[in-house]
Structure 1
Amino acid sequence: MKYIYPVFVLVLSILFMMSDGGFYELNTDIDYFGLALYGSITIIMLLALFIVQKIIDVEEVYYYLMAGFTFVYVSLFMSTMEKVYAYPVSEVTTLEDLFRLVGFGFVIVAIIKWIKYNEDVKKKLIELASIDDLTGVMNRRVFDIELKREFANAKRYRKDLSLITIDLDNFKEINDKHGHFFGDLVLKMFTKEVASLLREGDIFSRWGGDEFIVLLPQTGKKGALKVAEKIRYAVKNIHIRTDHTNIYFTVSLGVSGYESDDKDAMLIMERADKALYDAKKAGRDKSVLL
């Protein structure tokens, strides 16, 4: 069924050639060179109709390309037949040119759409490589790049830069008690809530498992602590209903910021991790600044 259209075109062409001699007279002087030239190109265009069936899987591009190749094929087919038969209609040449022009127009549109499609695919692949599959926030690999870039800017221009590490309290118990479906739902609801609290330009990433990290450019440590507390209180309002109960959860947060003698961005991370450890050690559901 896949190749039914080009086969249909081929059959129509053969039927036309078989009937043509019965209606029109042969040219007294057949242009064999033109016949060979146009005939070869016509065959190539017919083969192109078959090739399109195989390689084009984008529906919109496929239809434009098939329409374009069909118009061009008919135009070339008519030109080929003109080298053998004398047509009584003088406007045939004009019709051939019109078909060829329309065909090339469709092909150009198809190429433009194909290029746009490839650009969209490339953009989507870049996005997929940059985000965490489950939560839709930035993944760790890309966050590392952003952290180094923002650290370099803070150091060069002497700007504030703060970082918040976040850990969902007792997340393993949620998974064990309610199952991974509700565990994943907790992560999704959490990231959605946090993302709604951040400014444009803030960077939110999943660090791994139930650990997340927020990078706050041009924000001092005290400002970052306020953001951390806002996140902590907002999370308390999240509840997920199961068949038997509601799931509530809390988070622990560690806050740190850029200091003038920091030589590496990971020093901020280490302090924030230490602050997070202190928050969990102090009983969880706390924000600690270090």
Structure 2
Amino acid sequence: MTTRKYKELVEQRTRQTLETWSGQQSVGEREIYRFLHNLKGTAGTVGLDRVERFAGSALLYFSDHSDKVWLEAEWREVLYPLLGLFGGDDSAGAVPDPVHDISLSNGESQQKYEILLIEDDVELVAFLRESLERHSYYVNIAMSAERGLKLFYESRPDMILLDILLPDQSGIDVLHQIIGKATQERIPIIIISGEHSKDIQLYAYSLGVMDYVSKPVDIDLFLMLIKNRFELKKEWQKSIIIDELTGAYNRKFFNQTMKQLVSDFRRTERTFSLALLDLDHFKQINDTYGHLVGDEVLQTFSELVRGSIRVEDTFCRYGGEEFALFMPNTPAASALTVIERIQRQFADMEFQAKHELFHVTFSGGITEIRASRDNPEELIEDADQALYASKHAGRNQTTLYDDYLPVGKAEKVLKVIMVDDDALIRKIVVKQFMDWKPANISRVEVSGYESGVKFLQSGWYSADDKYIVLLDGIMPELDGLEVLEQLRSSYPEENLLVVMLTGRNDQQDIIHALQMGADDYIIKPFHLPELLMRVERLVHRFLF
């Protein structure tokens, strides 16, 4: 369906609504408000910019909390000028065609730097996010120290912007908790504060912050500072091949080693084995004992492996709690002996946290290069399939790849749910996500609901699945914030991401949603590429 078709549908629905009201004695003010609210979001999304601006202005005449009724002569005077705004060119420019002009990422989204903003000044948060995202940075918002620490450990941002004064604890306290890991992982920290004390600034610099920016912020200088610091970070990354947390080589060195060993095999037929190793139930460790204990487990595991292999072997952190081991001149059967010995040693180790002792295990998958499978992607796929077979068989074991492994890798299904009482917006968004193919997700299932009540009563949830809920802020029967409250109180956060879609201009409502547990928000009218980009970024840090 083209953009023109969507515009025609908006016009048709608008005319039908006004015609229906013309046959009534009066219309409730709430009903008019909801009509204009939906029209504003929909018109802006499909490129009817003049209609969107008119609807936004007309909203000022009406309230969602009023019981007043409007006679036809009253509402007609306000609303009928709408009909003359359809057709012709929109001076503010058109939105890209929802189907043909939008380039879906299909797993190849352009990498953008992620900034974690820990700040409770409502207006400054909105201003900085808008300014930074206009320059293609992605901004995660935390309105409290507690939320900031959670997002820091979960999303591993590329930069942190931190206020000194926060509602639950000071920014200096936050610094003490994150500076070690941020320094290890070369994450720049910039303080933004109205506190101009020289002593505070000296202390912040002594702890390891990179910059201290005083409020009020000169946005032009600030954006140039951000750009400068990311250029510096890019140079750091070029020279780094060691994962600072674990001491193993990083993914960059993994790719270099794979390329070198495959090239050597093709030239000399010198064999090698690749093992993928994944810690079992690692997320449960983080959730139960905290991320610092999780880091200790990763470090201990890395030390054990590095102390158990030969000089010519290469041990890499492949991602998160997954590691890779290259073993040159080693057939798969010999590699299995090595991995199983490490497996027994690691399972016997004791960790202590919260006055408890606990054990951790890992699962492994091994493949050996051969003439029929000498492509790097194929080798990784084979080792990954063998690793999955170990997980499927009960974990704490290692499987050798062969062509007869009975189980393929489990499908990773992501369910996207659109909850919005605007049928046209629902239709547009659902259609877009049906064509969306994010990286590392086997299948995306999309559904839509016209109200929060129908959504919550639909039996939508399964503990085995992951969800992204796109939730309109203003809906009949149950407000979007009320739906959000029920979602956060009734379902595990790790299975559910919530993006609020709102036409409200009141920043306090947006901040309220973030404080209640929304993962992000989009202001209506939104452009579909923006929505897709933000959702894809959230999926990137979604743990499967």
TM-score, normalization: structure 1?
0.55
Matched, 1:217 2:328: yes
Matched, 1:230 2:341: yes
Give secondary structure in 1 for the equivalent of 2:244. Answer: coil
Q: How does 1:199-218 map to 2 (within 5 A)?
A: 199-218=310-329
- Correspondent of 1:256 among 364, 367, 380: 367
Q: Does structure 2 conserve the Cα–Cα contact (< 8 Å) formed by 1:228 and 1:255?
A: no
Give 1:240 shift.
Answer: 1.6
Q: CA–CA distance in 2 between the matches of 1:198 and 1:228? A: 10
Q: Does structure 2 conserve the Cα–Cα contact (< 8 Å) formed by 1:203 and 1:216?
A: yes
Q: How does 1:128-167 map to 2 (within 5 A)?
A: 129-167=240-278
Structure with the largest fraction of helix: 1
Give secondary structure in 1 for the equivalent of 2:307. Answer: helix
Counterpart in 1 of 2:388? 277
Structure 1: gaps spanning 5 or more residues: 1-124
Give secondary structure in 2 for the equivalent of 1:215. Answer: strand
Counterpart residue type for residue 355 of structure 2? H
- Correspondent of 1:288 among 399, 404, 421: 399
Q: CA–CA distance in 1 between the matches of 2:396 and 2:302? A: 17
Q: CA–CA distance in 2 between the matches of 1:166 and 1:153? A: 24
Q: Does structure 2 conserve the Cα–Cα contact (< 8 Å) formed by 1:255 and 1:275?
A: yes
Give 1:127 shift.
Answer: 9.6
Change (3 A) 1:126 1:179: closer
Structure 2: gaps spanning 5 or more residues: 1-235, 402-544
1:189-209 deviations in whole A, cap 9, x for unaligned?
000001111100100000111
Q: CA–CA distance in 2 between the matches of 1:244 and 1:128? A: 41
Give 1:151 shift.
Answer: 1.2
Counterpart in 2 of 1:176? 287
Q: CA–CA distance in 1 between the matches of 2:238 and 2:324? A: 19
Q: CA–CA distance in 1 between the matches of 2:400 and 2:374? A: 20
Q: CA–CA distance in 2 between the matches of 1:170 and 1:277? A: 13
Matched, 1:245 2:342: no
Q: CA–CA distance in 2 between the matches of 1:267 and 1:231? A: 26
Q: CA–CA distance in 1 between the matches of 2:396 and 2:313? A: 23
Give secondary structure in 1 for the equivalent of 2:315. Answer: strand
How many corresponding residue pairs?
167
Q: Does structure 2 conserve the Cα–Cα contact (< 8 Å) formed by 1:251 and 1:285?
A: yes
Q: CA–CA distance in 2 between the matches of 1:185 and 1:264? A: 35
Q: How does 1:84-95 map to 2 (within 5 A)?
A: none
Q: How does 1:110-125 map to 2 (within 5 A)?
A: none
Name whichever of 257-266 and 141-150 sits farther off: 257-266
Change (3 A) 1:263 1:164: closer
Give 1:126 shift.
Answer: 8.1
Q: Does structure 1 conserve the Cα–Cα contact (< 8 Å) formed by 2:367 and 2:400?
A: yes
Detail structure 1 runs of 4+ shifted over 3 Å in the superposition: 125-128
Give the CA RMSD over aligned residues.
1.7
Higher alpha-carbon Rg? 1
Q: CA–CA distance in 2 between the matches of 1:232 and 1:128? A: 32
Give 1:128 shift.
Answer: 6.1
Q: CA–CA distance in 2 between the matches of 1:136 and 1:142? A: 12
Q: CA–CA distance in 2 between the matches of 1:249 and 1:188? A: 13
Counterpart residue type for residue 312 of structure 2? G
Counterpart residue type for residue 141 of structure 1? K
Identity rate, percent = 35
Greater length-normalized contact order (CA 8 Å, ≥ 6 residues apart):
1
1:22-67 deviations in whole A, cap 9, x for unaligned?
xxxxxxxxxxxxxxxxxxxxxxxxxxxxxxxxxxxxxxxxxxxxxx
TM-score, normalization: structure 2?
0.30
Give 1:155 shift.
Answer: 2.1
